[in-house]
Amino acid sequence: MRTQVGIVGAGPSGMLLSHLLDLAGIDNIVVERRSQAYVERRIRAGVLEQGTAELINRAGVGERMHTEGLIHTGFAIAFDGRHERIDLFGLTDGGTVIVYGQTELQKDLFETRADINARIFFEVDDVAIHDFDGSSPKIHYHRGGHEEIIECDFIAGCDGFHGICRQSIPANAVTKYILAYPFGWLGVLADVPPVSDELIYANHERGFCLCSMRSRSRSRYYIQVNGDDSVDAWSDEAFWDELRRRLPPEVAESVTTGPSIEKSIAPLRSYVAEPMQFGSLFLAGDAAHIVPPTGAKGLNLAAADVRFLSEALIAYYNDRRSDLLENYSRNCLDRVWKAERFSWWFTRMTHRLSDDQFNNRMQLAELDYVTSSRSGMTMIAENYVGLPFATRN
């Protein structure tokens, strides 16, 4: 089999890249080791930056996002008995975010790709990539018990943190930056109305919590737990009780509880692999970087990578320009490290890091400062709605 771009991974970054390339007339094939149903069911991010929404619109898959997504012009930070609102719209000259679950975006992308009979191969085994350090990269895999090979010009590694693409790069050719946090997020998805029209991030002496949503009738709530905690240790009743303890009283009283339809613990870590390209292999999304979910940057960073990579590939095939491909890693990493900084800072400011009272007082002082200062709130708002894109030629 022959194509121009082989894409490993059918998550949002792989599917969005595939569709943008197809719109530009660039042939591509996607391989995915999981089933389509499994990929669709994965519960992930739900807050889209303006730049991500614009990219989805550009790909022509934004109709349902605009119909069902919730536009947010601000969010709240609760701490020390206070409830402070960050006015995204006012502080960033009209900036907003859209709450629209990754599962819904994934469905939109699959439906669009199916309509044009795109080549997407699910449930493939033994995926391996070869010769990507030269001009004839190949993707090897088994499908239906038969070995298949895709010959291509470039490989896009969109296969996540545990995928084969990054692991295939020689160890001495990549530098890995890692920070593991000693806690995780216990998340519950429930068909109950959200406690607020906007997200609430809360710092509490018992630990962090977040009130989020997927729609006006489906809520997503999180509480900070120990890194070695188990989902089995948390009944629905125990979760709701703990969530309400960490919220301001007036908010806690308004929480509507109900049976969970999904419950899981996500570890928190920061991770960056540099560079994000090696020969004809280009990494995108979680294959290259991970951020704590605080600040909702994971999916948005993946979309930014796709934007840079799709523009670079289109420039290469349409205009025979190679400069954007050569600068792909640098362009992405400029944005990645700024998002890593914001997520790291926001996590350290809102989570219970230890029982050290000095550190906890420093957190409250920081929260008081940034929510009492227009410049502090502007910094938060600018990062939250998404920083401008800058491309080096």
72 is catalytic: yes
Nearest to 221 by CA among 208, 236, 211: 211
293 is catalytic: yes
Name the active-site residue from 12, 194, 292, 293.
293
Q: Are 307 and 51 in contact, with CB atoms under 8 Å apart?
A: yes
User: Residue 249 CB: number of other CB atoms within 10 A?
Assistant: 9
Distance CA 267, CA 357 (A): 25
Name the active-site residue from 19, 72, 289, 351.
72
Residue 117: what are its φ and ψ, rounded to 5°?
55, 45
CA dist 313 to 19, 150, 288, 390, Å? Answer: 13, 18, 18, 17
Q: Are 108 and 18 in contact, with CB atoms under 8 Å apart?
A: no
Q: Whose structure tokens read 């796709």?
A: 306
Task: Kindly state the tokens that stand for 35.
Answer: 């089933």
CA dist 280 to 14, 116, 131, 151, 325, Å? Answer: 16, 27, 9, 12, 9
Nearest to 377 by CA among 390, 365, 368: 368
Long-range contacts of 374-383 (CB under 8 A, 24+ apart): 374/91, 377/86, 377/87, 377/91, 378/91, 378/92, 380/86, 380/346, 381/86, 381/87, 381/88, 381/91, 381/92, 381/95, 382/91, 382/92, 382/95, 383/295, 383/338, 383/339, 383/342
Residue 351's Cα: distance from chain center in Å? 20
Name the active-site residue from 19, 204, 297, 351.
297
Nearest to 330 by CA among 270, 382, 276: 276
Name the active-site residue from 100, 141, 181, 201.
201
297 is catalytic: yes
Nearest to 207 by CA among 245, 180, 251: 245
SS3 percent helix, strand, coil of the chain, rounded to 5, is: 40, 25, 35
204 is catalytic: no
Sequence-ordered list of residues with C-beta below 8 angstroms from that of 179, at least 6 positions apart, any chain: 269, 270, 271, 344
User: Residue 248 CB: number of other CB atoms within 10 A?
Assistant: 17
201 is catalytic: yes
Active site residues: 72, 201, 293, 297, 384
